[in-house]
Chains A and B, each alone.
Chain A
Amino acid sequence: MNRIRKITRVLIALLLLHLSAGAQNFVSKNIRIGLFSSTPLEDIRAVSDKGNAVLVSKTREIVVQLDVKTLEFDRKLMQEHFNENYIESDKYPNAKFKGVIDQPIDFTKDGNYGVTVTGTLSVHGIDKKRTIPGKVIISNGVVQISTEFNVACVDHNIKIPKLVFAKIAEFITIKAEGKFNPLK
């Protein structure tokens, strides 16, 4: 009897282990991240396809990181000004969001979830606590995310001189989307 109990215990432990192994991690190296600034004088857009991201399904933790130098503008001089004068990419090479998805999600089932993610947005060396809205779509083991939110330049100590104030918006719209693949 005792023996049977012991075997059951081991079986349960094995089952738990199997479950925890089944909790998938997802990664992506090509999250598309774009920024958009709109004023009556000028629309400025830039985009990068080189965002890195990690999703730990068990803890619902999500991290998205971008090497800001990979953002491409159609005007190279604009890109240089962005890196030199505004984001100071030699000093602060990465922009990062690290947070936890607030709603429970079953990553093993296909589905379409509207979520919010609470965490820290780090841009230009300044961390800001944010809750941002997003969408999670799961189909055939592939997780797709998308989000759109505004960032106030002043929140991250990005100064726009009075001289060019009319050309750059105080709030920059950030869009991010991409597919995660399960990590094997």
Chain B
Amino acid sequence: MNKIKYLLISFSLFTLHAQAQEADSLLKALDSGRVASTVDAAFKSTHVVLSHSSETQKKHDLDLRIRHHFGDIGGRFGSAHTLYGLDVATDLFIGLDYGVTDDFTVAVGRSKQDELFNFSGKYKLLKQKTDASMPINMTLFAQLGWIAREPLNNSEFAQYSDRFSYFFQSIISRKFSSRLSLEVMPGYLLRSNVEDNGDAKNLFSLGFAGRMKITKRLSFIADYTLVNGLSRPKDLTESYYNPFGVGLEIETGGHIFSLNFMNSEYIVENNFIPNTKKSWSKGGVRFGFTISRNFTLFKSKKEDPDKKSKIY
């Protein structure tokens, strides 16, 4: 009898004790089924300075992007005569990027240089997860460039297909902390129109880029693309340089402004990867800016009224 009593008391003590922590332990049990979420926004924008970032447009979002590269700040073409390059527009670009799905973006753009039209697709293949199951983002990028200008001489564009160039890149990024994201971009460019006869038609490139947040809305961005020293011949009559850009990116919710400095005259990969002829060390740095405005198209009509936003 005593034994039973003892058992009963100890059991009720046990249940009391269990009850004191019950709410938290029950919550933990409910929580345990949760799956790891993705790490979003490694980069704020779909571009860094010159290069693409691993980000894609959100579904049904259209991004209008206007970019401008001025002339040399220093050197023979710079200084006060050209107001440090501000008199010159080496390249202008207007483009539209549209998110078909959250992971797949199509884009069209047009540059002043070569009257180049570009058409591209960008697909986010892998997404970084909050747990260790996926440490990186991986985005595949393919771009077609079409030179629309008149040929400079009779032999240029002997065949119509010589006007086209193709660029393929895989963009591997990781958000290391809320402040720091880095990426590596191996790429391959196929082209027919070569400025220097000794130059290789097809070029390997290896890009590096990063974003460092200074405040929540202001980031320092930089990218560098290695072209020389990979598959490119060394004995060229022209000297080509590796494109390197740094910038400040300001985000105001829907708009992104970035103020850039770079040695490349050109804006689109198919141009700046093979043809950058200016150097940081010889006053060939120029100022440039990007204005990007995001529009949301096709909002679903069946949408939950509890998540409807409205702009008056």
User: A85, B30: Cβ atoms under 8 Å?
Assistant: no
Q: Are B309 and A84 in contact (CB under 8 A)?
A: no
Q: Which residues of A contact B (CB under 8 A)?
A: 6, 9-10, 13-14, 16-17, 20-21, 23, 25, 27, 29, 32, 34, 40-47, 52-54, 56, 58-59, 61-63, 65, 67, 69, 72-78, 80-81, 83-85, 88, 90-91, 93, 98, 159, 161, 163-164, 167, 183
Residues of A within 8 A of B178 (CB): 84, 88, 90-91
* B residues at A contact (CB < 8 Å): 1, 4-5, 8-9, 11-12, 15-16, 19, 22-24, 26-27, 30-31, 34, 37, 39-41, 58-59, 61, 102, 130, 178, 216-217, 252-254, 294, 296, 299-300, 303-312
Pull 9 A–B residue pairs with CB atoms less than 8 Å apart, ordered by A.
A9-B5, A25-B26, A27-B26, A32-B306, A42-B312, A43-B312, A58-B19, A72-B307, A93-B37
Residue in A17, A43, A75 whose Cβ sees the most chain B Cβ within 10 Å: A75
Contacts of B304 in A (CB 8 A): 47, 72
Assess the A17–B8 pair: CB atoms within 8 A.
yes
Q: List A contacts of B306 (CB < 8 A).
A: 32, 34, 45-47
User: Whole-angstrom distance from the CB of B64 to the nearest CB of chain A?
Assistant: 14
- Bound together, the chains give a CA A65 to CA B27 distance in angstroms of 8
Question: Closest CB of chain A to B310's CB: distance in Å?
Answer: 4
Nearest CB of A to B103, in Å: 12
B30 contacts which of A27, A56, A75, A80 (Cβ < 8 Å)?
A27
CB nearest to B58 among chain A residues: A76
* CB nearest to A29 among chain B residues: B30
Given contacts A52-B30, A80-B58, contact A45 B23 (CB under 8 A): no
Contacts A29-B30, A74-B299; A83 near B9 (Cβ below 8 A): no
Which chain A residue shows the least CB distance to B1? A6
Q: What 4 A-B pairs come out closest when comparing CB atoms? A: A76-B58, A47-B306, A43-B310, A54-B26
Determine whether the beta carbon of B27 is less than 8 Å from that of A54: yes
Chain A residues with CB under 8 A of B5: 6, 9-10, 13
Q: Is the CB of B37 within 8 A of A77?
A: no
B300 CB to closest chain A CB (Å) equals: 8
Q: CA separation between A98 and B300, bound complex, in Å?
A: 36
- The residue in chain A whose Cβ has the minimal distance to the Cβ of B252 is A163
In contact, B310 and A42 (Cβ under 8 angstroms): yes
Residue in A closest to B20 when the chains form the complex, CB atoms? A59
Nearest residue, chain A, Cβ from B19: A58
For the complex, give the distance between the alpha carbons of A43 and B16 in Å. Answer: 48
Expressed in whole angstroms, the Cα–Cα distance for A25 and B19 within the complex equals: 10
Q: Residues of A contacting B19 with CB < 8 Å?
A: 20, 23, 56, 58-59
Task: List, in ascending order, chain B residues with CB within 8 A of A67's CB.
Answer: 34, 37
Chain A: minimal CB distance from B25 (Å): 9
Q: Give the docked Cα–Cα distance between A90 and B23 (Å).
A: 25
Is A74 touching B303 in the complex (CB atoms < 8 A)? yes
Pick the residue among B23, B217, B307 that contacts A56 (CB under 8 A): B23
Min Cβ gap A75→B in Å is: 5
Q: A164–B254 Cα gap in the complex (Å)?
A: 11
Q: Which A-chain residue is minimally distant from B250 (CB atoms)?
A: A163
Contacts of A23 in B (CB 8 A): 19
B22, B178, B309, most chain A CB atoms within 10 A: B309
Report yes or no: A81 in contact with B308, Cβ–Cβ below 8 A. Answer: no
